């Protein structure tokens, strides 16, 4: 992750260095300017990588103690809960937020304090022959006394960059998305329409992204020229300059190529009507989750697969349950793994859902397999405690092996001639 993050920032710094070269150099010839900016920024790539190591690395080190504190708070307040059930423990969640918010604000202040002091380091490395360490020191010196005004400008630009994609998304949702509902349901119409819709949204988003990156580079260039060279701004381009037909032709060719590629990808998909219905924790919107009642309801609803969660009891039995604690469904504060199968079977995990499910017990995986046998598949989500992963996996496999033996006996019973079979009551349901 650190290597990936470092390479990402190297590419960003390289891009910003090229844009800084474009911003401060004369604009008499756009093609020569672009090639010179690419060459000069590439030559400074080792120094840019060193600057990434110092700047990004320092910010990560600054982040570390705050993340450690947030992790400790999370473990204290929310560690025994899962993200899907925080809404049922609103006071606990608000306690965590109340403790974490000051830490987040403190980190934002510290990171901003450091960022503003090092804001000119990138222009100094990209435009002058400064080493990364020299650039950081000189940036601190140049920004002294100007940090409030620089911070206001950076904050204003950040708000604009963040708000533009939101506004564009809202515009597309209000103006163009309703038009899709009026289209006839034919692939020959829907695929081109969706392609045009998505392509238009992506192109506008990319344009906004480019504008934001360019604006950030231009702001850095202006601050560098003003603070380092006492010039109000980079020189303006001549009035008669333009991008040229060749540049527009290249841009148009790229767009046409991207559109054809997207068209080919969309048409390579096979549109089918076969959909697998998977019941999450059983039919948990109609019956209490991970219970036999939820499994039965899933079968009535026509589910092809039923997703269930399994945990290990203290006597190594595989049981259906989602949470680490018994608190959410039963009000008991004990952890699931502290209780035996017999103790767990005494809990009522259905009354919280509705009176019709009173005394619904926690089933074992063997009971779930028997209930869905031959009617649906199971998707077993394993929920081990730390250090219990292999033990729980082995217990699940043992239960599945036992179920396979039962199913084999059922298959053998059904395929043998009836006259050769003794009249004995079967202990299992096939």
Identify the CATH number of the domain in which residue 363 sits: 3.20.20.190
Residue 420 lies in a domain: no
**Cβ-based neighbours of 151, under 8 Å, separated by 6 or more:** 112, 116
Q: Is the pLDDT of residue 411 over 90?
A: no
Q: Is the pLDDT of residue 418 over 60?
A: no
pLDDT of residue 424: 41
pLDDT of residue 30: 72
Contact call for residues 392 and 312 (beta carbons, < 8 A): yes
pLDDT of residue 414: 73
Residues 70 and 186 grouped into a single domain: no
> What is the pTM assigned to this prediction?
0.59
Residues 321 and 366 grouped into a single domain: yes
Residues 7 and 138 grouped into a single domain: yes
**Cβ-based neighbours of 260, under 8 Å, separated by 6 or more:** none
Task: Assess whether 30 carries a catalytic annotation.
Answer: no
Residue 428 lies in a domain: no
Residue 115 lies in a domain: yes
pLDDT of residue 425: 41
- The alpha carbon of residue 310 and the mean position of all alpha carbons in its chain are separated, in whole angstroms, by 25
Residue 429 lies in a domain: no
pLDDT band of 123, cuts 50, 70, 90: very high
Above pLDDT 90, what percent of the chain? 44
Residues 302 and 384 grouped into a single domain: yes
pLDDT of residue 299: 94
The whole domain housing 204 covers: 145-235+249-271
Residues 286 and 195 grouped into a single domain: no
Residue 71 lies in a domain: yes
pLDDT of residue 48: 95
Residues 101 and 217 grouped into a single domain: no
pLDDT band of 417, cuts 50, 70, 90: low
Instruction: Tell me which of 123, 143, 163 is where a domain ends.
Output: 143
Residue 244 lies in a domain: no
Q: What is the mean pLDDT of residues 408-424?
A: 62
Q: What is the mean pLDDT of residues 248-271?
A: 70
pLDDT of residue 421: 44
Residues 261 and 304 grouped into a single domain: no
Looking at the structure of the chain, the number of domains it has is 3
Instruction: Tell me which of 143, 160, 189 is where a domain ends.
Output: 143
Give the C-alpha separation, 328 to 140, whole Å: 53
Element (H, E) at 318: strand 318-320
Give the C-alpha separation, 168 to 79, whole Å: 39
Q: What is the mean pLDDT of residues 363-388?
A: 92
Residues 48 and 120 grouped into a single domain: yes
Residue 1 lies in a domain: yes
Answer positive or negative: Cα dihedral of 24, 25, 28, 32: negative
What is the per-residue pLDDT across 336-361, written as a single tens digit (0 to 9) for each? 999 999 999 999 999 888 888 998 99
The total number of residues written for the chain in this structure: 430
Residues 211 and 114 grouped into a single domain: no
What is the per-residue pLDDT across 137-179, written as a single tens digit (0 to 9) for each? 999 999 998 888 999 999 999 898 888 888 888 888 888 888 8
Residue 430 lies in a domain: no
Residues 18 and 117 grouped into a single domain: yes
What is the per-residue pLDDT across 267-308, written as a single tens digit (0 to 9) for each? 666 656 678 899 999 999 999 999 999 999 999 999 999 999
Task: Assess whether 322 carries a catalytic annotation.
Answer: yes
Element (H, E) at 377: strand 377-382
pLDDT of residue 115: 92
Instruction: Tell me which of 95, 114, 143 is where a domain ends.
Output: 143
3-class SS of residue 291 = coil
Angle at 150 between CA 210 and CA 5, to 5 degrees: 50
Q: What is the mean pLDDT of residues 22-51?
A: 86
Residues 112 and 180 grouped into a single domain: no
Q: Is the pLDDT of residue 86 over 60?
A: no
Rg for the chain (alpha carbons), in Å? 32
Mean pLDDT over each residue of the chain, to the nearest integer: 84
Contact call for residues 200 and 173 (beta carbons, < 8 A): no
Cross-strand pairs, 280:
307
Catalytic annotation, pick one of 59, 186, 229, 322: 322
Residues 214 and 291 grouped into a single domain: no
């Amino acid at each position: 992750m650190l290597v990936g993050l470092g390479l990402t920032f190297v590419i960003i710094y390289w891009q910003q260095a090229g844009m800084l070269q474009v911003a401060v150099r004369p604009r008499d010839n756009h093609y020569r300017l672009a090639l010179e900016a690419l060459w000069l920024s590439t030559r400074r790539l080792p120094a840019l990588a060193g600057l990434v190591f110092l700047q990004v690395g320092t910010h990560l080190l600054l982040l570390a103690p705050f993340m450690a504190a947030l992790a400790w708070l999370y473990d204290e307040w929310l560690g025994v809960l899962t993200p899907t059930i925080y809404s049922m423990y609103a006071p606990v969640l608000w306690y965590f937020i109340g403790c974490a918010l000051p830490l987040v604000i403190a980190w934002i202040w510290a990171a901003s304090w450091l960022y503003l002091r090092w804001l000119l380091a990138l222009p100094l490395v990209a435009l002058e022959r400064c080493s990364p360490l020299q650039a950081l020191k000189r940036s601190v010196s140049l920004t002294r006394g100007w940090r409030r005004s620089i911070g206001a400008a950076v904050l204003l630009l950040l708000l604009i960059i963040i708000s533009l994609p939101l506004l564009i998304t809202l515009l597309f949702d209000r103006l163009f998305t309703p038009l899709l509902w009026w289209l006839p349901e034919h692939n020959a119409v829907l695929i081109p329409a969706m392609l045009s819709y998505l392509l238009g949204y992506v192109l506008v988003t990319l344009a906004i992204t480019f504008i934001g990156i360019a604006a950030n580079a231009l702001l850095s260039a202006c601050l560098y020229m003003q603070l380092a060279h006492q010039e109000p701004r980079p020189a303006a381009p001549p009035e008669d300059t333009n991008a040229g037909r060749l540049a527009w032709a290249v841009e148009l060719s790229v767009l046409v190529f991207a559109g054809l590629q997207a068209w080919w990808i969309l048409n390579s998909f096979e549109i089918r009507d076969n959909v697998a219905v998977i019941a999450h924790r059983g039919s948990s919107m109609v019956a209490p989750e991970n219970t036999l009642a939820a499994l039965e309801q899933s079968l009535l609803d026509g589910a092809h697969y039923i997703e269930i969660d399994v945990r290990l009891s203290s006597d190594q039995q595989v049981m259906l349950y989602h949470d680490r604690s018994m608190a959410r469904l039963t009000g008991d504060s004990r952890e699931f793994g502290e209780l035996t199968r017999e103790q767990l079977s005494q809990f009522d995990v259905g009354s919280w859902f509705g009176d019709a499910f009173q005394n619904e017990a926690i089933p074992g995986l063997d009971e779930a397999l028997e209930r869905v046998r031959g009617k649906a598949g199971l998707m077993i989500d394993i929920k081990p405690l730390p250090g219990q992963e292999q033990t729980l996996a082995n217990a699940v496999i043992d239960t599945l092996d036992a179920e396979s033996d039962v199913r084999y006996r059922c298959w053998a019973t059904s395929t043998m001639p009836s006259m050769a079979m003794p009249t004995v009551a079967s202990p299992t349901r096939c």
